[in-house]
Structure formats: C-alpha cells, structure tokens
Amino acid sequence: MNSPKITANDIRAMKTRGERIASLTAYDYPMVKLLDEAGIPLILVGDSLGMVVLGYPDTTPVTMADMEHHVRAAARARPRALLGADLPFKSYETVESTLANARRLADAGAEFVKAEGGRAILPQVKAVIAAGIPFCGHLGMLPQSVREEGGYHIKGKNETEREALLADALALAEAGAFAIVLELVTPPVAKEISGKISIPAIGIGSGPDCDGQILVTHDLVGAFPWFTPRFVKPSLDTGAQIRLAVADWKKSLAGPA
C-alpha cells in the first residue's frame, strides 16, 4: 500500500515528535523521484537553480517563468514528499503580486511557497496563507539580497541581529508559516530560535541544533564541483564520476591505431 501524501501539517508535527526533518532541493522530474524514493519528506524547487542549473552567479536573475518551468517538471514526479517552490527575486513586492505569483507556482504544482524575509513581508505572508497556500519562511542570510549586502554574510553575530531574527521568526510563526529556513545563522542563535518557535526551524549552514536541515542536492552529491559551500561535506563526487564515465566511453569508441 502507498504511504499517504505528506502535508505541511505533517512537517509541523515532525517537530512536535522530535523527529529531525531532512530536506533537499530538486529542480526536475528524476531528482524529485530519487529523493522521494530515498524518503526525503520535504523537497524544494529552490531558486538556487539559478546557480546550479542555469549558470547564473546568484539567484537574482531567476524569473517566475524559470520557476514555473522547473516546478512543472518536478511536480510530474508526483512525490509523496511535500513539494514547494521559491518565489523568485522581486516577485513578492506587493500583496497583489505575491498572491498572483504564489498562485502561478501552485498551479504549476507547488504545494507550498517560500519567500525571504520576516516582518518586512508579513502582509504578503498572511495573504498567501489566507489564500490556502502553505508558506515557508526564510531568515538569516537572504540570497536574493546578496548584491545589496555585498556577499554571503553570517547573521546573528550581535545582539541587534539576534533580536531581529527572533522577532522575525516569532512573527512568521504567528502569521501561520508552517516552517522557517534559517540560512547562515550563528549556531547559538539558530538553536535559540528553534527552541522558541512552535514551527520547525530548518537550518542551512546554521549548526546542528535546528529541527531539520536543508541542502542544495548538487552540493551534497558533488554535482556542481566548481563550488561547494564550507558547511557541506559532499558524500559523492558525481562530477568526477561523470567525467570518468564519459572518458571511458569515448576511449571505447577509438578504432584500431
């Protein structure tokens, strides 16, 4: 018998049970199928696809059309996992544009949407949730602000940042978000936030004490070998294996000398 489809409420309940949430990104049909078969309960079509699939230097050039294209491919895998998608850069500046774009992603097959920011985007978050689309927050280092901030900087290093992160996390939980990604937050602050909010805090580069962890799958399996974040230890060297398989095949075609 097939196991039942995972919902946003199921992800929230994992925190209540003390079960660690393992989450990964996927941008197409085969990767969603593989992650689902491996038992990953939460899969994100992240706008990190801008770097690891589309070859951009950061996530800011990713468009709604890019996201819809990849969400449709990912959703065709019909995973048991909860499958969500990022609202890309500048797609959630007003309540109206946020609602329209969240609905476009939901129509493409996203079962939740994620956007970067806390109290600054609370009206947008509330509107998405009121429209019946589950929402995942994203706090800490916000990749869509990388150009403004001049790099990927760790957050929570001083009291002002700690207080702001905590207030943002509490506000998102209060607004009805089902989970929050904490990216590049100092481990003690990530631990404190995880302990103080009722919904799962899912860390990336934020230490071991969050309710779950998320990684870009390409980083985990060495499929984008030209850059690996410091906090990831790849468990495979897919890039090297592809080069080797291709070179072996090429050699097998060589005719007699």
Q: Give contact residues for ligand KIV (rule: CB under 6 A).
A: 25, 44, 46-48, 86, 181, 204, 214, 216
Angle ∠(193,25,100) on CA atoms, nearest 5: 85
Characterize 144-167 residue by residue with b for buried, 16 or more Cβ atoms within 10 angstroms of its Cβ, and e for exposed.
bbbeeeeeeebbbeeeebbebbbe
Which lies closer to ligand KIV via its Cβ, residue 39 or residue 229?
A: 229
Task: Give the containing element (helix H, strand E) for 179.
Answer: strand 179-183
Count the neighbouring beta carbons within 10 Å of the beta carbon of residue 253: 6
Can 174 be counted among the known catalytic residues?
A: no
Which lies closer to ligand KIV via its Cβ, residue 42 or residue 77?
A: 42
> What DSSP state is assigned to residue 78?
-
Closest separation in Å from C-beta 125 to ligand KIV: 16
Distance CA 207, CA 34 (A): 26
Name the residue whose CB lies closest to ligand KIV: 46
Closest separation in Å from C-beta 49 to ligand KIV: 7
Closest separation in Å from C-beta 50 to ligand KIV: 8
Q: Which two tokens stand for residue 78?
A: 């019909």
Q: H/E/C letters for each residue in 198-222? A: CCCEEEECCCCCCCEEEECHHHHCC
Which lies closer to ligand KIV via its Cβ, residue 181 or residue 185?
A: 181
Residue reference for tokens 């959630």: 92
Closest separation in Å from C-beta 249 to ligand KIV: 32
Closest separation in Å from C-beta 51 to ligand KIV: 9
Angle ∠(161,43,49) on CA atoms, nearest 5: 75
The catalytically annotated residue of 111, 116, 183, 192 is 183
Closest separation in Å from C-beta 257 to ligand KIV: 48
Secondary structure E strands in the chain = 21-25, 42-45, 82-86, 112-114, 135-140, 179-183, 201-204, 212-215
Which lies closer to ligand KIV via its Cβ, residue 104 or residue 218?
A: 218
Distance CA 86, CA 100 (A): 14
Residue reference for tokens 């109206």: 96
> Catalytic residues, which ones?
183
